[in-house]
Structure 1
Amino acid sequence: MSHKEYTAGQISEHEGLSTFKLGMVWAGFPFIIAITITGSVFASKSSLLTAVSAIGIGSLIMFVYVGLLGEIGWRERRSFSQIAQMIFGDVGYLFVAGLLSFLVLGWFTINTAMPAEIFATSFGVPYYLVATILGIAFVLVTARGIIGMNVISNFSVPLFFALILIAFAMLADRGNAGAHPHYTTVGDHSLTFQEILAGVLASFADSGTLAPDFNRWATSRRASWISVFAAFPLGFGIAMLAGVGFTAMLAMHGLGIADPFQSANPIGYLVGLGGVFAVFAVLVAIINQGSNATHCLYNSALGFSKLFRQRYLVTTAIVGTIGVIIAATGVWAFLLDWLEIIGVLVPPIGAVVIVASYSGYLARRSSGELSGMAVAPWLSLGTGWVCGLIVNYSAAVRYLPVPIVSFVAAAMAMGVLASVKGGQRRLTTSTLILDEE
């Protein structure tokens, strides 16, 4: 297989990754400590039953969502940005693809900063130096394209799985060696099931929407769905449920659960033990979060390559450098409050792409049957965004998961506009004239 990333064209039918390799690429994306910490936070803010239920349902929803988008990538053999251009038009896709490319670039900086922070704190090394070195290493891995994603995932997945097992074993041994463990109530019930579900979906909505970037390399529809299954519900669900389980065990042994970003997670706990456990935990943190960081940079580089019509390697170097600078200077800390924005803005984009593809709208656009402004997708996006914002900033947010509301609203609007004769429209000086078929 060549190393060409096809930022402006289709992948050849003779090129692609095996089901196992593509599955490992996907598994290495969400099977990370950040998702485990997220599970710990959800458990500490709700209850074990609520957290487990929301994570389980959310993981299955993500499987369907990402699987449908991945199949579109396999069928078209194009990246998300290329597909978005066909749906949203030559001008409109600049915003859609640019937004997602910017969001995942932000996640690259955060996932570069997290292991750098762990390393710097554990061994007393200047943070900016560690962040710079790790960032450069992650950029070099990303420069290898889809092959680089497979290589780092092959290390990240088994290492993180081993770390989780070791952390649980050490925590269990600590309880057995000391006084009798006692149960402490887990969770303060400050978040409802709907809010936890919204958080589960939003935690990977942007990267999941970019599924065509990876699944264009699938060799068959079956391979496309199996590879997504390795991430959702498997990798994502196991990582997040591990956080819930670890939080529960900490509470059972009377240990603090209030600091999931510090010691109340598998890596933080092993670092606290010191010695070989700390060294192993920091090493895994670097490779594990590096896997997610490189995946995000890969998505970002593909998108910006298409937008600015630059070679993949050139774009990777440029946007990677920007991400490293943001991570090294500590500016990344201002990027953490994104889940709320992602839950409103991103699901409608995925909804429009899915409905446009499976309703035949994408095929009619790509064949030239539909011409002019891509009004239907933008009206649908607007519908999803408005509904999502209304719920997000009202009391309804306690009872309605924002990502689902914004997705359903956009999907219904696109379904109606794509099915009627007026699905593609053009504006005149007097009214909205039908311009289709």
Structure 2
Amino acid sequence: MSQTPDRTGGPQQPAPPAAPVDQDFSFEAVPLTQRRGFWRVGFVMLGFTFFSASMSVGATLGNGVDLTGFIWAATIGGIILGAYTGALGYIGAKTGEGLDLLAQRAFGTRGSYLPSALISFTQMGWFGVGVAMFARPTGDLLGVGPWPIVLVAGGLMTASAYYGIQAIEIVSFVSVPLIAVLGTYSMVTATRDGGGLEAIFSQSTGMTLTVAIGLVVGSFVSGGTATPNFTRFAKTPAVAVITTVVAFFLGNTLMFSFGAVGGAFSGQDDIFYVMIAQGLMIPALIVLGANIWTTNNNALYTTGLGLANITKIRKRPLVLASGVLGTLTALWLYDNFIGWLSFLNVALPPIGAILVIDYVWRRAAYRRPTDPHRTVVWGSVVGVVAGGLSGALVDWGIASINAMVVAVVCYTVGALIRRGRDRTRA
């Protein structure tokens, strides 16, 4: 045991034990020694985007547009999502900081409580929705009520999120190949048996391309705002950008395709029901459980980091509390899913847009520690509120894009006013 000298000349005393290391880096940047390579980050990001809710969007697209419209919507929407999340991923890897630490810079140390609260409670909601998405169809299949499955699934997902990025990696390494291989096999078989792609998209209801693109962007733009929480572990910004763009472009498109086939082949919006109709009960349960578990891990992890920024309590106990609350409210959240999704679509994109514009505007400041005297950046706070309102109230265009544009304008006006005041004082 190491010892420290006694200044009085007496016997040496044992040194105090070292403080436990926070493996989640709740309050500090991830050091370079803890960064991860392409495959480890890539599987985490793919696991994040493999989510059953995206299949519902795919089913809506499959019934609303023809094959050409589906391809265009998935491509254009995927490019928008990839650009948004790729920029956030770059910043996370470049600084080593997650969403909440970046928010302290862009919104101020106290102003960051607003984005942290929004991201925490919405991701906790996604966690609950995901648990119910697994419990209800599984309960129907097994002939039991949803609550036992809700409690078991919620407990297991909470436990893995508790152990942080390492547990998320393990779940993702197992789940992503299973989802991709089993889901693709089922989709290809269903497409062949259903008469091909043209037959799948033959029931188009005339949805416009703008609406279709809006659905693609809105499917994961809210969750994508949390991208820095995971790319901060990337060894290089290039690793972060490539893995993020691949996940949000290709991963999301795969989920849309699963949903489109599900809607055409079985009348449901999930590949789970397609596989059940094909007699693949065990693979269906594996795909559904793995699909939701990976995304729920990331959602609860993000919730813990956000609440840690507000409470100054480290992430792990907050993950436990959030997991319990999300589990107990899972069925209620599931029944109110559409309203929750609409709120998410306009509440979170302004946060990510402001993080990006602040980094572009003040890049040099990101090489220094966060300024503790920069408590509230009102242009950023107003930008989130105004952006969210515009996204909810403006009927034309794409809601999330409208929200981001308004947020950036508010931030820019606030930054110019602040710069003018600083010059006057100087």
- TM class, shorter-length: 0.7 to 0.9
Closer, same or farther: CA 183–89 of 1 in aligned 2, 3 Å: closer
1:391 equivalenced with 2:394 (yes/no)? yes
Whole-Å Cα distance in 1 between the matches of residues 199 and 96 of structure 2? 55
1:254-275 residue CA offsets vs partner (Å, 9 max, x unmatched): x564x42xxxx4210211344x
2:271 alignment counterpart: 266
Alignment match of 1:347 (pick from 330, 346, 349): 349
2:98 alignment counterpart: 79
Whole-Å Cα distance in 2 between the matches of residues 142 and 48 of structure 1? 38
Question: Shift of residue 242 of structure 1?
Answer: 3.4
Do the aligned partners of 2:262 and 2:274 also contact (CA within 8 Å) in 1? Answer: no
Whole-Å Cα distance in 2 between the matches of residues 167 and 297 of structure 1? 30
Ranges in structure 2 where 5+ consecutive residues have no aligned partner: 1-20
Question: Shift of residue 155 of structure 1?
Answer: 1.6
TM-score by length of 1: 0.84
1:285 alignment counterpart: 288
1:356 alignment counterpart: 358
Closer, same or farther: CA 169–185 of 1 in aligned 2, 3 Å: closer
Do the aligned partners of 2:63 and 2:204 also contact (CA within 8 Å) in 1? Answer: yes
Of 201-210 and 48-57, more deviation after overlay is shown by 48-57
Question: Shift of residue 3 of structure 1?
Answer: 6.8
Of 76-85 and 375-384, more deviation after overlay is shown by 375-384
2:405 alignment counterpart: 408
Alignment match of 2:154 (pick from 135, 139, 143): 135
Whole-Å Cα distance in 1 between the matches of residues 352 and 376 of structure 2? 20
1:133-189 residue CA offsets vs partner (Å, 9 max, x unmatched): 01101011111211111111112211111222331344256458xxxx978832212
Closer, same or farther: CA 204–173 of 1 in aligned 2, 3 Å: closer
1:186 alignment counterpart: 203
Closer, same or farther: CA 303–175 of 1 in aligned 2, 3 Å: closer
1:390-433 residue CA offsets vs partner (Å, 9 max, x unmatched): 414xxx2xxx1111111122223434543x3x23588xxxxxx9
Do the aligned partners of 2:191 and 2:261 also contact (CA within 8 Å) in 1? Answer: no
2:173 alignment counterpart: 154
Whole-Å Cα distance in 2 between the matches of residues 436 and 227 of structure 1? 45
Do the aligned partners of 1:55 and 1:241 also contact (CA within 8 Å) in 2? Answer: no
1:110 equivalenced with 2:118 (yes/no)? no
Whole-Å Cα distance in 2 between the matches of residues 164 and 56 of structure 1? 21
1:375 equivalenced with 2:378 (yes/no)? yes
Whole-Å Cα distance in 1 between the matches of residues 183 and 370 of structure 2? 50
Closer, same or farther: CA 169–361 of 1 in aligned 2, 3 Å: closer
2:238 alignment counterpart: 222
Question: Shift of residue 50 of structure 1?
Answer: 2.4
Question: Shift of residue 434 of structure 1?
Answer: 7.1
Closer, same or farther: CA 12–384 of 1 in aligned 2, 3 Å: same
Question: Shift of residue 86 of structure 1?
Answer: 2.0
Closer, same or farther: CA 120–87 of 1 in aligned 2, 3 Å: same
1:64 alignment counterpart: 83
Alignment match of 1:46 (pick from 39, 44, 65): 65
Question: Shift of residue 37 of structure 1?
Answer: 2.9
Do the aligned partners of 1:118 and 1:282 also contact (CA within 8 Å) in 2? Answer: no
Question: Shift of residue 95 of structure 1?
Answer: 1.6
Do the aligned partners of 1:348 and 1:406 also contact (CA within 8 Å) in 2? Answer: yes
Whole-Å Cα distance in 1 between the matches of residues 336 and 324 of structure 2? 18
Do the aligned partners of 1:33 and 1:285 also contact (CA within 8 Å) in 2? Answer: yes
Closer, same or farther: CA 309–33 of 1 in aligned 2, 3 Å: same
Question: Shift of residue 114 of structure 1?
Answer: 0.9
2:28 alignment counterpart: 9
1:233 alignment counterpart: 249
Question: Shift of residue 59 of structure 1?
Answer: 1.0
Alignment match of 1:28 (pick from 33, 41, 47): 47
Alignment match of 2:305 (pick from 302, 307, 310): 302
- AA partner of residue 398 (structure 2): P
Closer, same or farther: CA 330–412 of 1 in aligned 2, 3 Å: closer
Question: Shift of residue 354 of structure 1?
Answer: 0.5
Whole-Å Cα distance in 1 between the matches of residues 373 and 311 of structure 2? 26
Ranges in structure 1 where 5+ consecutive residues have no aligned partner: 427-432
1:430 alignment counterpart: none
1:320 equivalenced with 2:317 (yes/no)? no
- AA partner of residue 285 (structure 2): V
Whole-Å Cα distance in 2 between the matches of residues 54 and 116 of structure 1? 31
Do the aligned partners of 2:82 and 2:245 also contact (CA within 8 Å) in 1? Answer: yes
Aligned residue pairs total 403
- AA partner of residue 411 (structure 1): V
Closer, same or farther: CA 381–145 of 1 in aligned 2, 3 Å: same
RMSD: 2.7
Whole-Å Cα distance in 2 between the matches of residues 183 and 145 of structure 1? 40
Do the aligned partners of 2:125 and 2:326 also contact (CA within 8 Å) in 1? Answer: yes
Whole-Å Cα distance in 1 between the matches of residues 358 and 327 of structure 2? 36
1:429 alignment counterpart: none
Do the aligned partners of 2:109 and 2:375 also contact (CA within 8 Å) in 1? Answer: no
TM-score by length of 2: 0.86
2:418 alignment counterpart: 423
Alignment partner of 2:295: what SS? helix
Whole-Å Cα distance in 1 between the matches of residues 411 and 61 of structure 2? 33
Do the aligned partners of 1:48 and 1:186 also contact (CA within 8 Å) in 2? Answer: no
Closer, same or farther: CA 381–130 of 1 in aligned 2, 3 Å: closer
Question: Shift of residue 220 of structure 1?
Answer: 0.8
Do the aligned partners of 1:84 and 1:96 also contact (CA within 8 Å) in 2? Answer: yes
Question: Shift of residue 81 of structure 1?
Answer: 1.0
